[in-house]
Amino acid sequence: MKISPYFLGSGKASQAMKESLKIVELSSPDYQLDKIIQLKRDAPFPTVFDEEFPVLFIATPHALHSNAILEGEKAGFKLVICDKPAAISKAQIEKLKSIKIPVAVCHVYRQMWGIQFLKKMVEAQEFGKLISIEGRYWQSSSAVKALAKLKSDSWKNNPELSGDHDVLLDLGTHWADTVTFLSSSRITNVHQWKSFINAEAPHRDTHLHLTIDFENQMRSIGSISKTVHGAGNDFEIHLIGEKKSASWKFLKPDFLEISEGNSTSIIQKNTSTIGSGHWPHHGLGWIEGYVEIIKEAFKNGTYPTLQENLLLLEKIIEK
């Protein structure tokens, strides 16, 4: 299949997608990739109806994602791969419900080996009844800038580009997507507590407690932050079940801790079929998730879909 990749956006997310696309090309010889075409943000999309498999990659500021998806469908793209979140408001969510073409949303954590392994354990009912999924997603960027008294010209300081949130839509959607994926249940209620201390702009929440209730009577509790001093990219998931508990940490992505009673054992990744194809313990961080999403989207496999993202965003976006 001959794939024609078009890119909208040129920041870090775009660079990660381009790097991942190169890995897919090297590891999947069945795909023939044309040269990447970089689109300008304010220019009309070209019509691509004559190309075999045109793909639109979207890595613009958050508030621009929904319109790009809508325009991409009109232009004739057969697939869209979009950075998260797909929308930043209730109005944008409603417009995206009309989209018919496949859209993959880059919630990269759920595509990584550890989360996929836990999902299989949940489906096999190895935990018995799930009680709770708890953990944290901590970074330190807001604390660093506040201490240094730095104010950047980031697009996230502009609500017209970022929406009315920072941590909620940036890190919080990753957390909520991962726990929803693992729970295999619909969200019934969401409670948010936000702090804006150390914020660069008034609308940018810096620390968040996110509690999610599910139809299966399970609850998720997450501490999500950009202002925890000393944090790196500390994403941790802890499943608490009737029969077992389990823990996964992004900073040690190829290990799972599985506990029964007062005993704990370690499961190590032993496959190179997920993500970049590198052997265990030689991975590429969150690039693994991007690679897996692109591969799965190209073959119409399993990936985080627009429809799933809209159901999630409806619950966590307040207006």
- How high is the pLDDT of residue 309? 98
CB atoms within 10 A of CB 234: 18
260: β partners: 263
Segment 170-185 mean pLDDT: 97
Q: Where are the domains of the chain?
A: 2-105, 110-278
pLDDT tens digits for 58-67?
A: 999 999 999 9
- The pTM score is 0.95
Identify which of 17, 42, 4, 67 has the alpha carbon closest to the alpha carbon of residue 290.
17
Segment 105-126 mean pLDDT: 97
Which segment of 17-31, 49-63, 179-193, 201-215 scores lowest on mean pLDDT?
A: 17-31
**For residue 30, is pLDDT > 90?**
no
pLDDT tens digits for 125-141?
A: 999 999 999 999 999 99
pLDDT tens digits for 298-310?
A: 999 999 999 999 9
Q: Which CATH superfamily is 2-105 part of?
A: NAD(P)-binding Rossmann-like Domain (3.40.50.720)
- Average confidence score pLDDT of the chain: 96
Please give the CATH number for the structural domain made up of 110-278. 3.30.360.10
DSSP character at residue 24: H
pLDDT tens digits for 270-303?
A: 988 889 888 888 889 999 999 999 999 999 999 9
Strand, helix or coil for residue 159: helix
